[in-house]
Amino acid sequence: MRQPYNYNNQIHQSRRSAFAALFLLLLPIFIPNLFAPLGRASPSLFSEWNAPKPRHLSLLEVALRWRTPIKQQSDLWSPLPNQGWKSCIDSADDPPSLPERSQGYIQVFLDGGLNQQRMGICDAVAVAQILNATLVIPHLEVNPVWQDSSSFTDIFDVDHFINVLRDEVSIVKELPRQYSWSTREYYATGIRATRIKTAPVHASADWYLKNVLPVMQSYGIAAISPFSHRLAFDKLPIKIQHLRCKVNFEALAFVPRIRLIGETLVHRLRYPSGKLQESGSEVLRERIDDTPKEGAGKFVVLHLRFDKDMAAHSACDFGGGKAEKLALAKYRQVLWQGRVLNSQFTDNELRNQGRCPLTPEEIGLLLTALGFNNSTRLYLASHKVYGGEARISTLRKMFPLMEDKKSLASAKELAEVEGKASLMAAVDYYVSLRSDIFISASPGNMHNALLGHRAYLNLKTIRPNMLLLGPLFLNKSMEWPEFQRAVIDGHKNRQGQMRLRKEKQSIYTYPAPDCMCRA
């Protein structure tokens, strides 16, 4: 017999369907990470939330209880001896002098992060001198990754910059009224006769004289965009090379607020017992001075270059299993449409070629083998670490005195730079330059900039030997004594010894012999 139609069941089913639909609509609001696109800021369920277990457990177990011999510690922390080099950017034989008449105004628009922009500023000053032009303070583009709109004057002391270079290049903070139309917006809305957008990478001085000078002479102004890496490192007059170094190492000083925050962090790293009870610049100024104190502590800065973009682009295996590999492969596809050279190699091939970034665990093992220990004061200079705190936890176990900006300073003290990637990077740069030892986990713009700056000042900088470390970490049967011997032997000549610049290498990474002379 046919059952009668039950309208109550229909009503209940409709309600359940409605609730289910409403739940699905609200779920992305309450748990956005489950539905977020694979964008740069989206955390991965497989990395941030589920950090993999240590991959080098046998080495890690020894490292956690290792006691560094006193002699090794003493050698490690000893400053570099005088290597017989000195700055020679100001030559008594050829004193700087400004030309009587400028050929016009030159504008540059700089993209990239802080350290890439820093090098662009140096090149802009050099190009201005090549062209006998008046340089307008460079415009810093908003970085698409960090979304930081900080300007030149937010980061660098513009008056100091102009004053240091006053005898060599004419520099103005802004254009006179007759050229006020020459703005970023003006060039973004059409083809303009005064814009130079075809400057080749590492262009020669002659290229600028042939292609930019005529525009400037015709219109009184020329704007170059893009400008990153647009001046050659070779076949330039020594006077131009000296000027580039003078800009980089002397003219580019951070604004007082960045220097104050940086000096505060340095002070707290060196004198950890001297905790400040109050915030405010007056208190900081009272507590910070350059007078040597008995028992002053030393510290090392680690630039842990291990963000999600880098992890994905490397195409290496970081221990998260198939789920992590799939997530990073999808991330690569979104950002680079799969056009990543490394993805055609296996993880073993990449590591044997030294092309995999060191994980926090691996850099910790390297530091321990070199002689750092659990009493080392280590400052972590990083923006975002792939995997977050969970990924850093192994490194923190090895170095429990590890600090960063947020652990050393209060929210009030960091308020002026918080959320501004370029300003935060500037603070890290300042602390890194003041450290006893600097080490970067992987090459990059900050590594290169500090390598050159610290070489100029004869400060110890450790360069990880990636070709050595890749195979070492692949060898799962290697025991600690053998690992440590290999690390020590492989880094004897990678701790700040002067390296002379070779052809096509950056003058900002290797300032000798262009900007340094034998003492």
Residue-wise pLDDT for 145-170, tens only, equals: 667 899 999 999 999 999 999 999 99
The C-alpha atoms of residue 47 and residue 44 are separated, in whole angstroms, by 5
Asked if 305 contacts 444 with a C-beta cutoff of 8 angstroms, the reply is yes
Asked if 120 contacts 228 with a C-beta cutoff of 8 angstroms, the reply is yes
- Shortest CA distance to 107 belongs to which of 210, 176, 160, 161? 176
DSSP state of 247: I
Q: What backbone torsions phi and psi does residue 238 show, to the nearest 5 degrees? A: -60, -30
Average pLDDT, the chain: 87
Question: Residue 503 in 3-state DSSP?
Answer: coil
Residue ranges for the chain with pLDDT beneath 70 = 1-51, 91-94, 145-146, 274-296
Amino acid symbol at 287 = R
Q: What backbone torsions phi and psi does residue 471 show, to the nearest 5 degrees? A: -65, -35
Residue 396 is predicted with a pLDDT of: 96
Question: Residue 134 in 3-state DSSP?
Answer: strand
pTM of the model: 0.86
Q: Which two tokens stand for residue 373?
A: 């220990």
Q: Which two tokens stand for residue 476?
A: 């799962």
Integer distance in angstroms from the first to the last C-alpha of the chain? 109
The C-alpha atoms of residue 118 and residue 124 are separated, in whole angstroms, by 10
The β-bridge relationship of strands 299-303 and 221-224 is: unpaired
Residue 15 is predicted with a pLDDT of: 55
Residues facing residue 136 across a β-bridge: 172
